[in-house]
Amino acid sequence: MAATQIAPASGKLGILTPGLGAVSTTFMAGVFALRRGLAAPTGSLTQLGTIRLGKRTENRSPRIADFVPLSGLDDLVFGAWDIFPDNAYDAACKAGVLEKDLLEQVRDDLTAIEPMTAVFDRRFVKKLDGPHIKRQATLWDRAQALKEDILAFKERTGAERLVMIWCASTETFLTAAAVHQSLAAFEEGLKGNDPAIAPSMIYAYAAISLGIPYANGAPNLSADIPALEELARKGSVPMAGKDFKTGQTLMKTILAPGFKARLLGLSGWFSTNILGNRDGEVLDDPESFKTKEESKLGVLDSILQPHLYPDLYGQLFHKVRINYYPPRGDNKEGWDNIDIFGWLGYPMQIKIDFLCRDSILAAPIVLDVALFLDLAARAGMGGIQEWLSFYFKSPIHAPDLYPEHDLFIQLMKLKNTLRHLRGEDLITHLGLEYYD
């Protein structure tokens, strides 16, 4: 198999995040801490992962970072937009994820990151209101202003390439309307202030039209509309999403494939959370929660395939709750009660109490997705990057395919994509390697 031509990862890579809150500041502070050798990049495949090549007997398992050309941590620069003017240091202090001690050591780096004014519309995030926003009369003009921000950032930092990752609040639930169906309709809608265009779509539009890869870390409808997919296809711009796979859903996509593999039945899965950060506050609004709920509920059905196993999974009662509870801050507690059944239908229960740090789980995902999207762009891979489904609760996918949620299949797909890029044999784990 021939290797794909991949442009080198030379110069600086700018990572732009709409949203300078818990996730993005934990990510940025983490990169600064890593650069100084203050901590380890735990949870990051690009920094720690290896990839097996060839037959098992060959003992070839290079680090992913040595196998494909990725930007190094020293070459990353950061930019953000937020509806509040706090710089990344102040925002990180407010988010309360990282300890003061660590933040003090990277204070100067964080303080230098001042958010640009946001494109915001309260109709899409009812629980928030902030003063640091763009006020141009049309959505079109706001999109142009975002493009100017991006070009000015590039100029200021000397970044050679950019990627954008939505790390802002979850927007309310939307389904694709007429204005989302084609690029022409969408651009008309921007000029006519169509009320169905959400701010996240405007950021995505600005990025993709400048050839900048875009990923959505939240569950809301954003670049996953025909209009923006068309734009991405036309410009061969990579896009990925959506909703970072952390916390309870990460656990679900680890456990459910195991139950399914052993053909253990499931009659109920009740998940509840208490969460006290700003994300929890936004999700306290039923419309924002509905967006999250849709994203969380889809996972089990697609892993368990109840249409193939109606007796085992056809009657599953799946419920997800998120409760805003300020005393916990970013340290979410998630309980799962799982009702399973085994041989002869005998019932059993599994209880999970996950004392989770959401942004600690999300930060390495932001890093990996940014580095892999940039790799995809340099390898000429445009459109939806399904191989990055590994990182998302609700993977965006081509309309004629169903999404893959099983974490282990997702990982295999990701690694096989890397092998393919480098012209190595794909590994399916199906070969009779003992006899090779």
Contact footprint for ligand NAD (CB under 6 A):
18-23, 81-84, 95, 118-120, 125, 128, 130, 167-170, 199, 217-218, 243-244, 246-247, 277-279, 358-359, 361-362
CB of 170 to ligand NAD, least distance (A): 4
Q: Tell me the closest approach of the beta carbon of residue 82 to ligand NAD, in angstroms.
A: 4
The smaller minimum CB distance to ligand NAD, of residues 21 and 189, is found at 21
- Give least dist CB 323 to ligand NAD, A: 15
Q: What are phi and psi of 119, to 5 degrees?
A: -90, 120
Instruction: Give the residue closest to ligand NAD by C-beta.
Output: 21
Least distance between ligand NAD and beta carbon 242 (Å): 9
User: Using CA atoms, how far apart are residues 199 and 254, in angstroms rounded to an integer?
Assistant: 33
CB of 117 to ligand NAD, least distance (A): 9
Nearer to ligand NAD, 69 or 329 (CB): 329
Do the beta carbons of residue 245 and residue 182 sit within 8 Å? no
Q: Which is nearer to ligand NAD, 94 or 420 (CB)?
A: 94
Provide the minimum distance between the beta carbon of 84 and ligand NAD in the complex, in angstroms, as a whole number: 5
Q: Which is nearer to ligand NAD, 119 or 418 (CB)?
A: 119
Closer of 366 and 421 to ligand NAD (Cβ): 366
Confirm if 373 and 215 have CB atoms less than 8 A apart. Answer: yes
Instruction: Give 14 or 217: the residue with its C-beta nearer to ligand NAD.
Output: 217
